[in-house]
Structure 1
Amino acid sequence: MIRVSDIMEKEVINVKNGKRMGFIMDIDMDVNDGKVISFTIMGDGGRGFFARGGEDQVIFWNDILKIGCDTIIVNIGSELNLNEFNI
């Protein structure tokens, strides 16, 4: 079992493009079923109540691949375009 406070300290990283997405600031749950529906991620603007900057994004439970010690790995969006880097 994992605590909500433990989840909120983990950084979310997208496996498709390797980008750091931010930190979880809210969790949506179905209280009737006792299941997590989604997480709201705070953008790269920082952590805390007065943080400014990045845009919030919703990550659905089905998009989570792995919850590790320090990070949560998700699989969302488009893949990294290597042509942008002349590789």
Structure 2
Amino acid sequence: MISTSDLREKEIINIIDGRRLGFVSDIEVNLEKGRIEALIVPGPGRFLSFFGKNNDYIITWNEIKKIGIDIILVELKSEIITQEKEEEKN
């Protein structure tokens, strides 16, 4: 079993293009089902979690391919969904 603090210490890497996305800053949890729905990674240009959350990356649990000792491999085939884009949909 892995804890949320363990997830925060792992770097996120996209296996499609090898891009380093950063480290987990937050986690979306479905309390009714008791499972993690998504990992949130600060978007480009954010410094130490300042300057808003509109450009954070939202990585759904289905996009996570492997959780290793130091990294989390994700498969983001197309455009990375950010919170700003999620808000535009709603």
* TM-score, normalisation: structure 1: 0.76
Deviation at 1:77, TM superposition (A): 2.7
Partner of residue 13, structure 1: 13
**Unpaired segments of 5 or more residues in structure 2?**
79-90
Structure-1 separation of matches of 2:48 and 2:57: 16
Structure 1 residues 57, 29: CA separation in 2 closer, same or farther (over 3 Å shift)?
Answer: same
Distance between the aligned counterparts of 1:3 and 1:51, measured in 2? Answer: 27
Computing the radius of gyration over CA atoms, which structure comes out larger, 1 or 2?
Answer: 1
Structure 1 residue aligned with 2:76: 76
* Alignment of structure 1 residues 27-46 onto 2, 5 Å: 27-45=27-45
Q: What is the aligned length?
A: 76
Question: What are the ranges of 5 or more consecutive residues in structure 1 without an aligned counterpart?
Answer: 79-87
Structure 2: how far apart are the matches of 1:51 and 1:69?
30
Task: Give the TM-score, by structure 2 length.
Answer: 0.74
Deviations 1:12-39 (A, max 9, x none): 0000000001111110011111011001
Query: What is the root-mean-square deviation in Å for CA atoms of aligned residues?
Result: 1.9
Segments of 4+ moved more than 3 angstroms: 44-52
Cα distance in 2 between the residues matched to 1:71 and 1:51: 26
Q: Matched residue of 1:77: which SS?
A: coil
Separation (CA, whole Å) in 2 of partners of 1:71 and 1:34 = 23
Equivalent AA in structure 1 for residue 42 of structure 2: M
